Every structure is written in structure tokens, then in C-alpha cells.
Amino acid sequence: MSASEPVIGIDLGTTNSVVATVQDGVPRVIPGRSGQLLTPSVVAFARNGKRLVGALAKRQAITNAEDTVFAAKRLIGRRWGSKEIEDARRVLPYRLVAGPEGHDVRVELGGRTLTVQEISAMVLAELRADAEAWLGQPVSRAVITVPAYFNDGQRHATKDAGRIAGLEVLRIINEPTSAALAYGFGKQIERKVVVFDLGGGTFDVSVLDIGKSVYDVVAVGGDTYLGGEDFDRRVMDWLTFGFAKENGGIDLRQDKMALQRLRDAAERAKCELSSLPSTAIHLPFLVGGGEGKSALHLDRQLSREKLEELTKDLVDRCIAVTERTLRDAGVRPSQVGEVLLVGGMTRMPRVQQAVREFFGREPCRGVHPEEVVALGAAIQAQALSAPHAGAEVLLLDVTPQNLGLMVVGGYFQTVIPRNTTVPTSQTHLFTTVQDNQTSVRIAVLQGASERAIENELLGEFVLDGIRPARRGEVEIEVTFEISADGIVGVSARDVATGLQQSISVTATSGLTEDEMRHILDEQIDELLERKQTAREFEARRDRVLALVREIEALGPEVHDALERTRFGKDAVLKAEGVLARARTAVEARDLAALAAEEEPLERTLQLFKGLAATARPGAR
């Protein structure tokens, strides 16, 4: 790795993802290879087995709903059987299954069972390839952002996705903190800032004290299952129930293609209503005809007022979380110097109005809601990779949820309370609860409930070899550490003997090191296979293009000869069709289509050579 190798910042979003870098001291978003700044966070396997990522995957989602994955960020790091996963299974067109141990979530895609980390890694790899194409050199280091309210398991899983994508993840940072960093970059600002971040699938709110180049997070709050997807679903439900009422109870949710068309239409209508008072939703032939029945169409008018009515409780939830977070920070709305709106959903007028009413001031419009998080990540990446190259940046982030362990009676004992600045380390003394107890099980949890079972189990381990004694006589010292990434490590020590056991917590919903090695080995095999396929494609492409050039060179002579035959026009049309299909296959880099056109091109060339010979002077 070269010292001058660029580093990138990635906002891995639910709906769209963005990659950025710092060039000549200026952070900027890197456009994709097709020119777009936002890359849809969508992965698909086409019917021919080809993997598609981004805009290409999104474009074919309607006709290939079962093999197109979107909103993977809402699944990453979650436990199988959790409330959120059960909800996702009811509404997503692609199939979710339990992992081998029954803990985590897997996705069935293109005849394979993939981890959510692998799906996210495909999006990250696409962004990395875009960055390499734009920068003209390899990229292997990145800062990746996550919602502030992500727990340890979700952070671990995101870091694993980066590793699978071939990236060294320098740091995992919170999205609102990243946005604040981009907002304050290059300015001498000293004020209290609230970041209101409502994206495609998650909601965060953070309170920060910004003092020149120090970004001190005071409190965070959020909901990792609240975002634009939920607003879209309200519109989808309204359309679905209205259609059923008008058409004898037909349930569009049973038709995956119709459901995907509804999802696209709902998202488009929601976006249009940010600038229009009403919009038309027209979906012809939504339900096919047959057996003498005519096809059914959907034609509805949706007003901004109706959208606001359908989503009122979602906006109210955002404000309730904001109010609670400010209370945790000990800050009144009137004490806030600036409110930053981040995430595509903050373009919705009702969301802006709710924020304005709560804070009693106009929110800041000086940041791009969809790009600002990636720009902040790029600034942090630059600061970590070249600390002496520019202005120093100090981020003081916090842990979003209480961290502790399960104690006797099934209760949760907090060791590190939420909103503690990280990195941090805290120690707590516990005693044995039974006579002659020789081992103790340490169950590490994260959450807000006093009951252990209602919190997220991050991991567990056993401290053996404790000296036998009466209960309460043996003291166990448990130390919790949280890194700057927000990732947890725990150790337990018998105070009397010094015997110690420790783990870097890997959530039960995460990948084991063996699974990670297996995935990385598969990646190498796929890379070698892709290189071999690329070489085969290039060789076949060169042969096909040579045939195309020969055929085109014979064109004028053949045209004269064909004009004298009855079948001239048909022959020209057939030849043009073969040439057009060959060019399309070359542009799409479709090896199978290219192979299929090689023989028709050979036949066309032989035909053209024969016709050209008859058209030349002196030919009989």
C-alpha cells in the first residue's frame, strides 16, 4: 500500500449510497462510472446468473423481484426472530432464512444463500470500483458511516462487509457526527448543533457541541427501523386497500411483480409531493386479464395533504425521539444554535415543518442532505490517514445505548451508561451467587430495559477456575471497553487469584472468523473466475469486432448487388439485425450473447463476400 494511496469515505445507505474523498484539501463526492452521484443500495442476480449492483439492479427489480435485494441495511446485524426481521419477512419480495446456528439472517438470492454482510459488501465493492475508476489508482482504505443508534452487532457486521469488499476499515463513525463534521469543515464555528437525520431506513438525532475543530457529541437517540421505507409502505397500503375495495377484494400483495410496481410508484409519488400539491399514480395492466376477463389498471390521485395524514404518526415518532434526546443532553430547543437536516426524507415539507415548530427556528439549508454524510466520512478518513497533512479534527462520539451484563434474577446491570464518550473503559465488581461456585458465565448485553431478556445479547463467555468459597466471598472484576468504532471488548478477572478471561465481543448475529475466511476464499475464487471470463470476453470481442468491420467494409458493394435481387431488402435487414445485436453484446459485456452472435456474423460475412464478388466489374 502506497503512502500516497487515496482514502475514501462511504455513506452506506438504506436506499442510496455515496462515496467521497478529499482532493487538494477539498472534500468532494465521487461520481459513479455512469456519472451518477448516488448509487442505489440494490443488488440483484439476473436470469442469466449475472450479478447486478446499483442502478442496473434497481432498473430490473419489477421483473425480477424475488432475486433483487434492497434495504439490506435494515437487516444487517439483526437476530433471526427479532420483531424487525419478522416485519421484514412479511413485506419483502425476496426470501429471508435463518443462518446455520439459527441466530442471524441470510438472504436467498440467485440460487445461493448469502449473508447480509455479503450483500452490503457488493454495494461497497461497487463504490470502491467507482472511486478507483475516478481516481485512476487502487483504493483499499475507507471510513464507513453507520446510524448513531446502531448497536455493537450492527457495527461489527458493517465492518465485516467492508472487509469482504476488500477494504481496510479505518473507522466506523456515526452518520450524524459525520454530517456535523462536513458542516463545520473549514469554518471557525462555536455553537451547539442538532443533526436530524431521517434516511431511507433509519432515523438518528444527535446533539453536538462544536468548538473550532473539536466535535463533542453530547447525546444521541434514534430508531434503526424508521425511515423512508415506512413512508413508502403507508402509500403502498393506501393504494392496495383502495384497489381491493374497487376490484372485488383483489389483494395486490400476493403478486410480487405488482407489489414492486406499487413500491416504485409510492416512492416516486412521495418524492414528487415534496414540490407538488398533488400527483397522479397511474399503473396500467397492474393485474393481467385472461379467461375472458379484462386487465385491471390502477389510477389514483394522491395529494400532499393525504400523504401527511397517512404518515402523521411517523413524523410524530421522529419528534418524540428528538425531544427525548435533547432531554438526555440537558438542552432546551431554544439553546440550539443550528439544526442540520440530513437524509433524503428531510426534503418532505411536513418533516421540515415539524422540525421548525419543535425548535422554533428555520433549519439550516447549507448542507446537501444526501451527500453530507459521505463528505464528513471522507474528511475523517483523510484526518486518520494523514494526521499532519491538514487541520486536526477531534471527534468525541458517544455510545448510543446502555452496556452491561445479566445479573441474578434475570436483571440487567448497566456498566457503561448511554451517551458516555468513547473510547472508554469502565470496571465493575461482582460477587459469586452460590456456595462453592467455580465458574461464572458473563452475558454481555446492550439496551435500555431493566430486564435482561428485553435487551440485545452481544455475546457471552465463561470464567473458569474460581476458588471454591461461600457465596459473596469471591469478587469478580468485569471490565468493559468500547473502541472509537463503538465496538465492545469485555474481560473478567478473579480478584483473589488474578485469573482472567476476555473476549472481543462478536454478536450472536455476526459472522464467525471461519465463516469470514470461507467468504474471503470464495471472493478470491470469484475474482479469478471473473478475470478468466474477462480474458475470454476480450478475445471473443476482438474476433467479433473484426467480423463487424469486414462486413461493414463490404457494405457498399453488397448494397449494389442486392438491389438487383428480389430478396435484397430482407437480406439487408437481417444483416443489420445481426450487427446491432453484436454491438449491443459488446457494450453490455455479455459473453453469452457475444458467443451466440459469432456464427451468424461468420455466415453474414461469407454471404457478403459472395455478393460483393458478383457485383465487381468482369464478374459473371
Residues 284 and 335 in one domain: no
Q: How high is the pLDDT of residue 426?
A: 92
The DSSP-derived string for 185-224 is TTS--EEEEEEEEE-SS-EEEEEEEEETTEEEEEEEEEET
Residues 468 and 521 in one domain: no
Least confident of 360-374, 525-539, 579-593: 525-539
Of 254, 277, 312, which one is at a domain's C-terminal end? 312
Whether omega for the bond prior to residue 556 falls within 30 degrees of 0, making it cis, is: no
Residues 152 and 185 in one domain: yes
- The CATH number of residue 345's host domain is 3.30.420.40
Residues 306 and 318 in one domain: no
- pLDDT bin (cut points 50, 70, 90) of residue 620 is very low
Q: How high is the pLDDT of residue 389?
A: 61
pLDDT tens readout for residues 156-201: 899 999 999 999 999 999 999 999 999 998 888 899 999 999 999 9
Residues 95 and 44 in one domain: yes
- The CATH number of residue 483's host domain is 2.60.34.10
Decide if 583 is inside a domain.
yes
Residues 403 and 344 in one domain: no
Q: Which residues are marked as active site? A: 11, 73, 175, 197
pLDDT tens readout for residues 37-63: 999 999 999 887 888 999 999 999 998
- The CATH number of residue 235's host domain is 3.90.640.10
Residues 217 and 258 in one domain: no
Residues 506 and 527 in one domain: no
Exposed e or buried b for every residue in 187-222, given b needs 16+ CB within 10 A? eebeebbbbbbbbbbbbbbbbbbbeebebbbbbbbb
| Inter-CA distances, 402 with 147, 221, 422, 444, 476, Å | 16, 12, 13, 11, 21
Least confident of 112-126, 327-341, 489-503, 512-526: 512-526
Q: How high is the pLDDT of residue 292?
A: 61
Query: Does residue 236 have a pLDDT over 90?
Result: yes
Least confident of 243-257, 408-422, 459-473, 496-510: 496-510
Residues 344 and 482 in one domain: no
Of 476, 511, 546, which one is at a domain's C-terminal end? 511
Decide if 353 is inside a domain.
yes
Residue span of the structural domain in which 14 resides: 8-227+314-397
CB distance 21 to 27 below 8 Å: yes
Residues 384 and 527 in one domain: no
Residues 195 and 329 in one domain: yes
- If we measure between CA atoms, which residue out of 417, 441, 419, 420 comes closest to residue 430? 441
Decide if 620 is inside a domain.
no
Q: How high is the pLDDT of residue 298?
A: 93
Decide if 2 is inside a domain.
no
Averaged confidence pLDDT in the chain: 87
Of 276, 292, 312, which one is at a domain's C-terminal end? 312
Cell 449491443 belongs to which residue? 584
Q: Which amino acid is at 116?
A: V
- Quick one: average pLDDT of 427-435? 87
| Inter-CA distances, 616 with 141, 415, 554, 558, Å | 63, 93, 11, 10
Q: How high is the pLDDT of residue 515?
A: 76
CA separation for the pair 581, 587 (Å, rounded): 10
Decide if 259 is inside a domain.
yes
Query: Does residue 207 have a pLDDT over 70?
Result: yes
pLDDT tens readout for residues 261-295: 999 999 999 999 999 999 999 999 888 766 667 78
Task: Tell how far CA 544 is from the center of its chain.
Answer: 38
Which residue has better confidence, 240 or 518? 240
Residues 307 and 378 in one domain: no
Percent pLDDT > 70 in the chain is: 90
Cα diameter, the chain: 116
Decide if 181 is inside a domain.
yes
Please give the tally of structural domains in the chain: 4
Decide if 3 is inside a domain.
no
